[in-house]
Amino acid sequence: MTYGATFVCLLSGKDAMRVLTIDLRGREYQKFSIDHRIYFGPVDDEEAQRLDAQHRIFQALFDDRLIFPPVRQLRRVLDCGHGAASWAVEVADQNPRCEFIKVIGVDIAPHMSPDDMPENLWLQVGGKHSIRKMCRRQAGSRIVDDLNRAFTFPSNHFDLVHSRLLATGIHHTRWPSYVRDIVRCESPKVLTPGGWVQMVEIYFNVQSDNGSITDSHALRRWSAQYMRALEDRKDLRIGSRLRGLFVEAGLEEVDMKMIPLPLSEWSSDANMRSIGQSNSRNVNELLRSLALYPMTQRLHMSKQNFDSLVEEAQQEANDISLKAYFPIDSQREGIIDMFALDENRHRNRV
């Protein structure tokens, strides 16, 4: 596969549309995503910094592993919905043999992409970064930045496809074909033979390690309202369905782990306590930033009701006696740390 052909790109009408933002109470949203009901999270610097901090928390939670599966040969990697590209940058940095290794990130919004990137990272986005970052494209392939649309990558292409926190961006009816597009059991395949998929999703229904959180707590009311605000478009319980979707897509081996992400430093385990401490600030920000548009614009919650729900939920998140975490419950929802093995592994393994 050839990369590196250099094209001079101009902002097309489509790209220009992707750049426009709207402002809501000092936060910036991508107008295109809002108008097309694709993604309702902010895309400003504040959110990029939060996503970067959250990435570091995930790294601690996943024992510093960026890549869970034992990928035999890492030449090309796809990161779906890269956001601030924290994961993609680290993978590219840690695999500097850039003649062979190419990390590609795809995102509907160009706004949070970093300015400085490793040579072997290419962010496939529309909008303001087009000229700088979309100048290299594979001849003949159409750029797809909305993951709700069918992939146009060539077959047998990626050794690893990574998809993290896309539940709020993928349409609820798209998930089976999104997984199939990644796996493509029938020819052509996006994954190379022996390739892997790695997905991580948070289930936003807050749980308590000592059962002390009830439906009347603000944290639960926040979760319920957040999920209700998006339920006509998104499946925020998708984590629990991923195993079934991968098996349906024909993967031979699927491994899934559920890990509680503490909202504050309540754990008796020193490592989890430290993760909870780092996560506390992230959660305080997340409770407001993720929910602002969905609750005030989609559920029409008043400013006063929104502010008081968020403030109460923040206090509860910081209350170590509640032992709150995202999420895990008995139905196995939670942070889904899933990696799936492509059906051809055995034929291609050395």
Interacting residue ranges for ligand SAM, rule: CB under 6 A: 38-39, 41, 51, 55, 81-83, 86, 106-109, 112, 145-148, 164-166, 169-170
Q: Which is nearer to ligand SAM, 67 or 322 (CB)?
A: 67
Q: Do residues 274 and 265 lie in contact, with contact meaning Cβ atoms separated by under 8 Å?
A: yes
Cis peptide before 96 (omega within 30 of 0): no
Q: Which is nearer to ligand SAM, 286 or 341 (CB)?
A: 286
What distance in Å separates the CA atoms of residue 43 and residue 21, rounded to the nearest whole number?
Answer: 9
Q: Which is nearer to ligand SAM, 25 or 37 (CB)?
A: 37
Q: Which is nearer to ligand SAM, 144 or 224 (CB)?
A: 144
Instruction: Work out how close the CB of 105 gets to ligand SAM at its nearest, in angstroms, rounded to a whole number.
Output: 9
Q: Which is nearer to ligand SAM, 198 or 207 (CB)?
A: 198
Q: Please, where are the H alpha helices in the chain?
A: 13-19, 31-35, 45-61, 86-94, 130-133, 175-183, 218-230, 242-248, 270-289, 292-293, 303-318, 345-348
Q: Which is nearer to ligand SAM, 266 or 326 (CB)?
A: 326
Closest chain position to ligand SAM (CB): 169
Residues paired with residue 197 on neighbouring β-strands, in sequence order? 161, 340
Q: Which is nearer to ligand SAM, 213 or 336 (CB)?
A: 336
Q: Which is nearer to ligand SAM, 44 or 343 (CB)?
A: 44
Instruction: Work out how close the CB of 52 gets to ligand SAM at its nearest, in angstroms, rounded to a whole number.
Output: 8
Instruction: Work out how close the CB of 343 gets to ligand SAM at its nearest, in angstroms, rounded to a whole number.
Output: 26
Q: Which is nearer to ligand SAM, 21 or 267 (CB)?
A: 21
Instruction: Work out how close the CB of 209 gets to ligand SAM at its nearest, in angstroms, rounded to a whole number.
Output: 24
Instruction: Work out how close the CB of 124 gets to ligand SAM at its nearest, in angstroms, rounded to a whole number.
Output: 10
What distance in Å separates the CA atoms of residue 83 and residue 63, rounded to the nearest whole number?
Answer: 22
Long-range contacts of 292-297 (CB under 8 A, 24+ apart): 292/24, 292/25, 292/27, 292/42, 293/24, 293/27, 293/29, 293/34, 293/40, 293/41, 293/42, 294/40, 294/226, 294/229, 294/230, 295/225, 295/226, 295/229, 296/24, 296/25, 297/24, 297/40
Instruction: Work out how close the CB of 200 gets to ligand SAM at its nearest, in angstroms, rounded to a whole number.
Output: 7
Instruction: Work out how close the CB of 39 gets to ligand SAM at its nearest, in angstroms, rounded to a whole number.
Output: 4
Query: Position 2: which residue type?
Result: T
Q: Do residues 280 and 318 lie in contact, with contact meaning Cβ atoms separated by under 8 Å?
A: yes
Indicate left, alpha or beta for 115 from its phi (over 0: left) and psi (-120 to 50: alpha). alpha
Instruction: Work out how close the CB of 106 gets to ligand SAM at its nearest, in angstroms, rounded to a whole number.
Output: 6
Joined together, the tokens standing for residue 251 give: 């993967």
The DSSP H or E segment spanning 76 is strand 76-80
Instruction: Work out how close the CB of 330 gets to ligand SAM at its nearest, in angstroms, rounded to a whole number.
Output: 26
CA–chain centroid gap for 145, Å, is 14
Residues 40/61/325/25 CA torsion (nearest 10 deg): -30
Q: Which is nearer to ligand SAM, 59 or 148 (CB)?
A: 148
Instruction: Work out how close the CB of 175 gets to ligand SAM at its nearest, in angstroms, rounded to a whole number.
Output: 12
CB burial of 125-137 (b: ≥16 within 10 Å; e: otherwise) equals: bbbbbbeebbeeb
